Each structure stands twice: as C-alpha cells, then as structure tokens.
Structure 1
Amino acid sequence: MNKNLSPKHLTQLSDSWVLWFEASNQYLVISNSLKELVDVYLRSENEDDFHSQLRSSSTLSKHDSHTYYTEISELLRTVNRSPENELPKTSDLPRLEKTDFKATYGFGNMSIAVNYCSLAIQNLIHPQWAHATVLEGEIASIVFDILQKDDHLYLFRNQTYIGHYSVTDYHLLQGQFALQLINSLYNKNESDWIATFHASTVCNDKEAIMIIGDSGNGKSTLAALLMANGLDVLADDFSPLSAKNQEVYRFPSGISVKEGAFSTLKPMFQDFEQFPIYTSTSKNVKIKYIPPMADFGKAASHFQCKKIVMVNYDANAKSEMKTIRIEKVLETLIPESWLSPLASNSKLFLDWLKEVSCYELTYSDNGIAVSQFKKLFDS
C-alpha cells in the first residue's frame, strides 16, 4: 500500500481539500474529485489494484487509469521529498572586521543594531526601517551582522550564524531578517509562529483584516490610504501569525509605496515630500516608505484576523467588494508566504483557515475602497 505517502494533516475547505506533507512542508489544494482518486491510490497495493478499485465505481479506461496512477504517484513522491539543506563549515563563515555601514533602530524600549558589510547590502534592509533610526550611541539589545562572501549573503544575530542565501535570492535574506527581528521584538522563537504572510494587515481597535494580492496590485498603497483615513497599519508586506493565540502581530516597518501613488498620497501625509526616494531592489521603480503612525510599544501589539481581502487596482474597473471562495485566496497566500514546518503549527494554520472569510476588492476609486473596508470592519 502507499500509506507512507499520506499527508500528515488534511482539512476540507469549501469544495476543496488542503493536504499538508511534513517532509517537504508543502500544501496541496485539490478538488473533491481528485481527493477521491488520491484516497484510492493511497489504499491500493499496486497499479492493477488501483485500476480495479476505480472500475468498481466508474467506467474509467485502463489508459486513463494508468495516467492518473502515474501522475498521482509522481505528485505524492515529490511532496514527500525532504529539501536538502547544506550547512557551511564554521571555517567558511565570514566575520565582520570593520564597517562604515551600520545603523541602530529603536522600537519602544528596545534598540537593535545592524552592521552591514556594504552600502549595497544596507540598501536591501535599511530603507524600510529608516524611520526608526536612533543615535548610534544607544546601547543595542540585539546586534545583527549581514555579510557577503563570494556569491552568498550571511546573517548573524549576536554573532550566532542564522543562515546564508544566494545573492540572487536576497529576498530570502530579507524575509529571514524580518523573522529574526520579530523574534527579538516579542522575545519569541521561530517555532512560536504559524506563518509570516506576504500580506499587509490593517486594524481598528477590535480586529484586523489582511490584504493580499500580486505585486503591483496596490495592497501597500491601499494600506497607506486606509491609515490616512483613520485605520492602523498593523503590518505591511509581512504579517506574522502567532501560534499561541492565532493573532496577527504588529510589524513596525515603513509602508512601501511606488512612484505611481506619490501624487495620490502626497496630500494625505504632511511630510510626504521629505520621505527619501529609493529604488526598489526587485524592480527598477522609485519607492518611498511611509512611517507607521502608531508608536511601537504603546499601541496594541496583536489582533485576531478572521477576514482576508484580495485586492486588485484597475483604473478602468468598477469598484466593488464581493465574497470569494477561500481556494482563490490560497493560490496567492500559500506560495508567497513562509509557513512553519512544525506539524503542530501546520494543524493550527489549517484550523485558522476554517474560521476565515474571504473577499475580493477590485477598485479604481480610492474613496469607495476606503468605505468598503470600513463597512467590512463594522460587519
């Protein structure tokens, strides 16, 4: 039998199933009909047995049965394959000797220093935290070193090696730095988080709503618009979900907005002209970072989040909010997020998804978009 290829966790959401495989930490979202075929495959002794079981309940041809068996077999073997993680030798790790590129950031009562080995490396991290810069004389609680050796970037926390990443995958460094930063701010470990979503999250004083969407679809610009209209941006582009209470925690970075939104946002933020202009590391576009309005350490640090909105800015479309199936949200949410590899946290993630309501906002009118969000908070 093929039971050894079974998912560790599975749950039904709407008309689909979500399967989680522990070895690879991968999620599959499949239809009810495919789930039935997978079930037959898992209890089959071999391909002939698979075909025999299918014939008892359908008129599937031998050829089609063979195709299904082969494709399901390859799929399940792929998601049950553990990734290879090659750790560098201690002697191969770079060490920081001296740098002119360093910064200290203040978050409430905590200060965090980062030593960058070059200006180019500094520009990968610093812009979104520039608003939190404090005088270098401040004694840092935590010190990060970000170094480069050959074609890899290395991250250290208090001189302890955290990980290394290809220079072409610098976004992995950015994500791991963000994870290590929230661990420092909340005195947590990686195992304390269910996930960190590539999403912006806004809140009022009672609950949070997560905003997802493909790059360029306006989620950060919308977050800035909502902040200018009285809501609080809990997190921009990096929304951490806690295992302890299944709530989203505050991530106090600046809100990144692209040049196309500058003229819209300028009248809404008094110091907008003074915010520095940077060039995006992923795309050759100009961006600014709008500082969060809430003071970290004084504002509430976490809220329940049971609503997800997929946003799409379209200048030629009618502005409207509608409910959608969770499967459509998962197509974006899962591939673009870091999800904990722990079985216990995977179970919590699937349980959390059962409680989430999903919406799609297509908008061309900023005023309507803001009003739709405020209605969603009140519902």
Structure 2
Amino acid sequence: MWRNIASNAMTFLVVIVFLLGGVLIWAQKEYQSVGPLEQPICLQVQRGSNFNRVSSDLEDKGAIRSGVLFRLGADYADKTALLKAGSYLVPEGATMPEITDIITRGGASTCGTEVVYRIGVTSAQVEVRELDPAAGRYAEVLEFDPAEPAPAEYAAYRDDVGTRFRVALAEGVTSWQVVTELGQVDILDGDIAERPAEGSLAPESYEVSRGDTRQSVIDRMQAAQQVILAEAWSNRAPGLPYASPEEALTMASIVEKETGGADERPLVASVFVNRMERGMRLQTDPTVIYGITGGEGVLGRGIRQSELRRETPYNTYVIEGLPPTPIANPGRLAIQAALNPADSDYVYFVARTLDPADGHLFAATLDEHNANVAAYRRLEAERANQ
C-alpha cells in the first residue's frame, strides 16, 4: 500500500513539475511576444506612481494582456524601482520588456505636451505643442512672445507633470540674446554669472527641466560647442589661415551671418579664406554691424558711410584679417565650412535676388562681380518702380 501511495505521490509531483514548467514557458513566451496595441499611445506616469498603477493603466489602454505578468517580469529584471515619471510614447505592438525599458530608462519624455522656448536671431517665442501618437507628429496648440504676458492657458500646460521642456537656439544668435531670453524662461531658476564669450554656445535644442538653473543650461551649451569645435578642428583641411580654433570659430560666425543656406556655407567660407590668403580685407557687413551693436539687438537700419569708414576692431572694411572675437554663435555646419571650405577661386559674392533665400552669385574676378552687382541693382530698381 505504502508503495502505491509513494508511487502516486511521485506521479503527482511529476505532473505538477510539468505543469509549472509549462506555465513558465507560456509566461515567458507571453512576456516576450508582440503586444496587443494596434496604435501608439501616450502613457502618462505620474510622480509617486508605482508599477501596480502603471500596469493597470497599460492594461486599461490595451497595451498589455496581463498586468500581473508585466509586474512579475519587471520585478524579475530588477526594474520595478527604476520607474520614471513622464510622458512616454508606447509604439504599436510593443512587447512587455520594451514597455518596461521605455518607462524605466529615464531621460526625456517622448510624447504628450512639449513647451519649446525658441531663441531666434530677430525674435523669440514660446511654442506649446502636443504629439498625436497615431500620426507621430506634433501639433502646435499655443504660441506667444515671451516678452508679452503669457496667455492664461499656458500655465496649465506648463504645470502639468507630463509636460516636457526644450530651449532651442537658432544659428547666429548672439550671447547677449541667449542670456536675455533665458531670463524669460519661467521654469528655470537663478542668474547667469556673466555673459558667455561670443561664439561659445552651440545652437542646438536642449532638453530642460523645471528648476534647472540658467547657468547650468549655459554650461551645457558651452560644453556642446567645445566638442563640436574640437572635432572640426581635428578634421580641418590643411593650410588654412587660422592660428587657433578660436580664429576658426570667428570665421565660422562670419559665414553664419552671411548665409543661411547649408549648401552655400563652404563657398562663402572659401571666399573669405581666399581673401585672407591674398592679403585682401574681408569687407563683410555683419562684422561692422556687430561693432555697432555689440551683439545687443538688431541694428534695424542700413550701415552709414561714416560707420564703414570708421576704424573699429570689427570694421573689416578697414582692419586687416579677422575681428578679435566671433560676432555670433555659429552652428555645426558653419564651423565645419570654416574648417573645410570649398575648393574655389572665388573672392566676391552678392545676393542672387532680393530674396535672401535664393542665395548668392559668386565671382573670381572684379569684372564678373561688377556684372553680378549690376544685375542685383536692376532688381532693386525694378522693385522701387513697382
């Protein structure tokens, strides 16, 4: 009898082991399999939330089939304590491990509401945008000048826990503009110790958070520009007339202010490099304007003849070589153009049409240049007579 009981017990245990093994195999397969989402969703993870709440939310939204299995998998991977607050885009068909990684890796939120503080060359603006998960595109819902009173609805977007923030610098902004406009960004704290050196800030888009200090944002911009300049300097073309990376940065700032066309930057850089190599003056208006304004705002008028004749450190119609500092914060493409200019014999250029977006006409001789200038003057005359 005891032998039969022992045999039955052993059989029962074997069955249980096989059943448990089958359950584990199924659970592992289910955990790794393509999820049930048919369209992307934006998942909000509130501050102070936990995996129980998140798994319930995911289950309600149809992103996972089992909240229990989702929590067990995250716990097994030691990720339950790594949950990060924010707004996260969960793509269609995302597996449970993929969703776990999305909400625990940290970093920037990837969907929901975004506030962008744009610092441009002639103006600044605040944009509030929302991502449509299904379309994968941001739609603008609000825009205003930060110097003006903010619309009443802005506060609700700004104070929402899921909102992400960015500061976006346009190529060619001056350090004065950046310092001034960062002072208008109401989610940042503290003052900036001193105006950063002209040219030292990288025009890029920076993710920021509530309570970040303005100085810390400046520090990130400077660190980014140092990396860009060092990389471009190490890959520069041979024989360039720059004694240091700082001189190359000054040239890049001039190129940046002379053209907004990415394809034109190497050609514009070649003109100025050719002039320097031939002992010609740079004769570029943006440097003269910087000498007048100090980078503080837009000149808002034409350059006077007296200003073109006056000898100042930035009047490249009078001085030899480069001005003493950059005249703006150049972007990556302008820096690369200054350090790898096009191979040309051009020493002149003039606007192609009255629309700056149409680019420039380049010339190697004064006769060619005068013909291009005459064509431009005719366009000016035609507009004046309309």
TM-score range, shorter chain: under 0.3
Instruction: Specify which structure has the higher proportion of strand.
Output: 1
Q: Counting helix residues as a fraction of each chain, which structure ranks higher?
A: 2
